[in-house]
A and B are shown apart, each in its own frame.
Chain A
């Protein structure tokens, strides 16, 4: 098992551990997943058919509606929120979504997470300290 440590900024506090899901497309909580199932239903989205529930979700930045913190809160209430969010750029709508739904969020990491994290990797996020640990099988 190889451990890789990345450091960045904290958008919303908390700690989480889980399986990574990498999205090449941007994400809107209102529009991308079905809030009641956590499964991505947005037509043409690269995660179509996949669940974001309890995943460590890596995507470039948030898109879409400014009502997103409400949608994210409903996703959380239905038990389908991601375990943590890793972004390159922090969109204010995502930051507020993460704060109000208690989802740890980190962004602007010291290395490009897209070149390191793959879907299925085990990842630990400590958003209090802005640290991401990735565990890779040798």
Chain B
């Protein structure tokens, strides 16, 4: 009755009627001149371009990879399924065509013991990690392993980029003014292989204007928002704006990178938004009129105390008697400044032995923080700094049941949401500011 699904062999069906104008080199890629992998990669990019009526491809200056075997499903047959997709595009590819960064992994294997992850859990993962990282790194992938490549690699306004990881897309569009679509894992890989992406959506100025205006209720003071409050606002806005780019008005012009990260990130959790405008901050939103492109907003929504509370209510699922197993900070990965703030708050103090407190950063920031003594400061207090690891949604969401993790506290709406969603509600979450997470880490009590 149903055609085209539940097949056992990998045989992707691509559109064949190409209308896109391609350069000579792109045509050669499509013809198979550069090998089978390059051809398949170009086919997928062209198919996506056709669907969105792209007129041509554009060269991009980088791509960012989501590697399924080390980020999403690192175990057993699921890891093989991830490879089934990626090997179609990697066949015969010796080097990536452009600088290519890598997303966070599910576990920092070097620190697994400190995180009390049992040996049986990582036994077969170790091999998969080693093999997979070798494949990508031998092709020139940069081993930053981070969901916050924007803290390590900077792009200019109007620079065209490829790459997956929804927060990376949001941050580069909204804070740096670079141009990037909400690419998926597979197309990000295809872009790394070919160096191009179809020109549609966020690559075109007209599509980047804001449509829904979020105004801060005048009784709220933007300067007093914690990281979790900003997350809660983003989480609320995502539930309201469907596919329409939101504009945030009334926020401080002096918001720092960490604050912007927390405001952006939930827009790709409760929605699938590639960009936000923060008036006075986003390079394309010096004024509200700039953000709107001279038009009127389609909708105006007030952010009130109640809207912020509604997010906290949804993300706090633990009961009063639940004890914390883990406190996870660094979703998305911390900037150096944020990591330093955490280490200052912990200096000379002792974290409760009833729980595990850890913070995640990119491999690049880890090396820097290690040299600056920041890692030691946090670990002397009994915490763990993990490098290149997704601090929760992957490991506790997907494997929480298997690892018998019951309660995780975090300052990240994205982390709390996915830990709950991926574990089917098995792992309970406590969502609160970084300050409160650290207080709970020291006392062992979150209430």
Residues of A within 8 A of B (CB): 9-18, 26, 28, 30-32, 34, 41-44, 54, 60-71, 73-74, 76-77, 79, 81, 83, 89-93, 95-97, 99-104
Contacts and interface: CB of A to CB of B under 8 A. Distances in A.
B366 interface: no
Given A14-B4, A18-B1, A64-B268, A91 B317 contact: no
A102 B12 contact: yes
A99 B184 CA distance: 12
10 contacts: A12-B13, A16-B4, A31-B422, A64-B269, A69-B184, A73-B85, A83-B5, A91-B182, A96-B186, A104-B4
Contacts of A76: 5-6
Given A30-B422, A43-B317, A70-B73, 18 more contacts: A31-B417, A54-B2, A61-B243, A62-B272, A64-B269, A70-B82, A74-B81, A83-B2, A89-B242, A92-B48, A96-B48, A96-B186, A96-B187, A99-B12, A99-B13, A102-B7, A102-B13, A103-B4
B81 A31 contact: no
Interface of B: 1-7, 11-15, 44, 47-48, 51-52, 66, 68, 71-73, 78, 81-82, 84-85, 164-166, 169, 181-188, 201, 238, 242-243, 268-272, 314, 317, 417-418, 420-422, 424-425
A11 B51 CA distance: 6
Closest 3 CB pairs of A and B: A41-B424, A14-B4, A66-B164
Given A44-B314, A63-B271, A16 B424 contact: no
Given A16-B3, A100-B186, A102-B12, A90 B51 contact: yes
Contacts of A71: 72
A90 B53 CA distance: 12
A62 B271 CA distance: 8
A14 B47 CA distance: 14
A82 B424 CA distance: 19
A90 to B, nearest CB: 7
B5 A16 contact: yes
B425 A43 contact: yes
The A interface is mostly helix, strand or loop, or mixed, namely: loop
A97 B183 CA distance: 11
A64 B166 contact: yes
Contacts of A54: 2, 5
Contacts of A81: 5-6
A67 B13 contact: no
A70 B5 contact: no
Contacts, number: 162
Given A61-B242, A104-B4, A66 B188 contact: yes
A63 B7 contact: no
A28 B393 CA distance: 14
A40 to B, nearest CB: 9
B24 to A, nearest CB: 26
B57 to A, nearest CB: 15
A99 to B, nearest CB: 6
Given A41-B424, A67-B185, A101 B272 contact: no
Most A CB within 10 A of own CB, among B11, B169, B187? B187
Most A CB within 10 A of own CB, among B1, B3, B270? B3
Given A26-B271, A92-B182, A99-B13, A14 B3 contact: yes
B72 A30 contact: yes
A66 B73 contact: no
Contacts of B15: 13
Nearest to A9: B51
Given A81-B6, A92-B181, A93-B182, A67 B421 contact: no
B272 A63 contact: yes
Most B CB within 10 A of own CB, among A13, A61, A73? A73
B241 to A, nearest CB: 11
Contact of B81 (A15, A65, A77): A77
B184 A68 contact: yes
Contacts of B314: 43-44
Contacts of B11: 102
Given A30-B72, A70-B185, A102-B7, A43 B78 contact: no
A76 B81 CA distance: 10
Nearest to A16: B2
B268 A63 contact: yes
B183 A92 contact: yes
Contact of B68 (A18, A26, A41, A70): A70
B71 to A, nearest CB: 7
A73 B71 CA distance: 15
Contact of A67 (B52, B68, B81, B242): B68
Contacts of B187: 92, 96
A119 to B, nearest CB: 18
Nearest to B200: A92
Most A CB within 10 A of own CB, among B2, B48, B66, B201? B2
Contact of A92 (B14, B201, B238, B422): B201
